[in-house]
Amino acid sequence: MLELLIYRYSFFRNSIRNGIGPLVVVFMLVSCGNYDSKVNPVLAQGNSERSVAKAGILELDNARPIMDGEAFKNERSPDEYRVTYNDLEGPGKGRHIVFIATDHEYRGEETLPALARILAKRYGFSCTVIWALDQNGHIFPGGSDLKGLEVLEEADLMVMFMRFANFEDGQMQYIDDYLQRGGAVIGLRTTTHAFKNADNPNWKHYDYRYDGDKEAWQGGFGELVLGETWVGHYGKNHQQASKFILEENNREHPIMRGVHNAWAQCGGYNAYPQGKDLKILARGRVLNGMTPDAEPDPDKEELPVAWVRTYQLESGKPGRAFTTTHGASEDILSEGFRRMLINACFWGLGMEEDIKGDNPIDFVGAYEPTTFNFEGYQKNVKPSDLKGWESVIMPRK
């Protein structure tokens, strides 16, 4: 069997050079039936044929690779996955914020670069945005082909808009190392269920449904770091917006300075956060419509939609975490909501004194968000298309 796999690998490599790689992938998927459970999800996530070969051929004996080096010579450079915005002087100069964008539905690939530009241009932060890509190097929301997370080694803040990711071990290690040192975390919307990787023996405890031997990790990354995992929708998504009602006891929290009339278009989540130093900042009033002046739904209670807490991994250092169950591309058109997110970044960095109720939060460059839905992302867009201050978010091609 091993000799057959090695032969298929050599044939696959030569076939790529001859331009018939896709045909070979089909052959391999049919003929290597024992590995369908590993290959099909990788292909579905938009990874390259070479990635499929890696998942379907090289993972033998408990995922231990039998080949190395040459099989990955043509892998994409980490720089192709990311863009860094930095510019002028400001309170954020010398601080580095890393944004990780890969969710299937809510257009986090648009929300995060828009926030990054504001923080870089208006306040001097260095902001690196990293996207998942497809086999052609285009932004692929919800994909797991994401590289370049080594920038977390020097990061001061990690902002995540993720859903059901299954990153390779090397990239997961960068995230774990960051959390072990207590780096500040901002989690938007689907980041409560950021990981779906129960089939990875090294990182399965990050999975949003984890219920294994690691007691502290019950509920996965979302439960341990953010204080909540995926529970379910609350109200009708795409039909019921939410108005933010500030929690009376925490109205004076630095994150809520200058936050007025915040609302969000994406529907509510069931959320019952827990954890050390937990503070509920706002609750969501579910509306019977998609405008901020719609009537409230009388059958819905007001559940938490924004909170802060302290997280700590076993043997790690404590760190700050802010979570909101909203954050879709059109949500940040609400000035109150956008201000809350910008303030949260300052708070995560321990820069509360720099949070002013009238800090500028206007967009940098054209922001033309796509309405959130599963298949509605803007195709054929590369990270390099979003370089600079004036490129539109998000280009239509």
pLDDT digits (tens, 9 = 90+) for 10-27: 333 334 333 434 433 333
Instruction: Specify the pLDDT at position 38.
Output: 32
Query: Please, how many CA atoms are within 13 Å of residue 383, restricted to the half-sphere of its CB?
Result: 29
Query: Please, how many CA atoms are within 13 Å of residue 394, restricted to the half-sphere of its CB?
Result: 25
Q: For residue 45, what are its two tokens?
A: 């996530």
Q: Based on C-alpha coordinates, what's the Rg of the chain?
A: 21
| Average pLDDT, integer, range 206-214 | 97
Instruction: Specify the pLDDT at position 88.
Output: 77
C-alpha 273, offset from chain centre: 19
Report d(CA 364, CA 156) in Å as an integer.
22
Residue 305 sits at φ, ψ, to 5 deg, of -125, -10
| In contact, 218 and 228? CB cutoff 8 Å | no
DSSP 8-state secondary structure symbol assigned to residue 306: E
Confidence band of 299 (pLDDT split at 50, 70, 90): very high
Instruction: Specify the pLDDT at position 5.
Output: 38
CATH number of 78-354: 3.40.50.880
Report d(CA 143, CA 165) in Å as an integer.
7
Report d(CA 95, CA 101) in Å as an integer.
20
| pLDDT > 60? residue 129 | yes
C-alpha 108, offset from chain centre: 7
Instruction: Specify the pLDDT at position 89.
Output: 84
Q: For residue 354, what are its two tokens?
A: 């720099």
Q: How does pLDDT run across 154-164, given as a tens digit for each residue?
A: 999 999 999 99
Confidence band of 332 (pLDDT split at 50, 70, 90): very high
Higher per-residue confidence, 349 vs 7: 349
Q: Which residues pair with 68 in a beta bridge?
A: none
Question: Which residues touch 74 (CB under 8 Å, ≥6 apart)?
Answer: 16, 50
Report d(CA 128, CA 301) in Å as an integer.
38
Confidence band of 55 (pLDDT split at 50, 70, 90): very low
Give one DSSP letter per residue of 113-130, joined into a string: HHHHHHHHHHH--EEEEE
Residue 332 sits at φ, ψ, to 5 deg, of -80, 0
Confidence band of 374 (pLDDT split at 50, 70, 90): confident
| pLDDT > 50? residue 112 | yes
| pLDDT > 70? residue 69 | no
Question: Which residues touch 350 (CB under 8 Å, ≥6 apart)?
Answer: 184, 320
Instruction: Specify the pLDDT at position 295.
Output: 97
Which of these ranges, 69-83, 113-127, 242-256, has the smallest mean pLDDT? 69-83
Q: What are the residue ranges of CATH 3.40.50.880 in the chain?
A: 78-354
Q: Is the dihedral of CA 374, 376, 379, 382 positive or negative?
A: negative
| Average pLDDT, integer, range 325-340 | 98
**3-state DSSP call for residue 323?**
strand
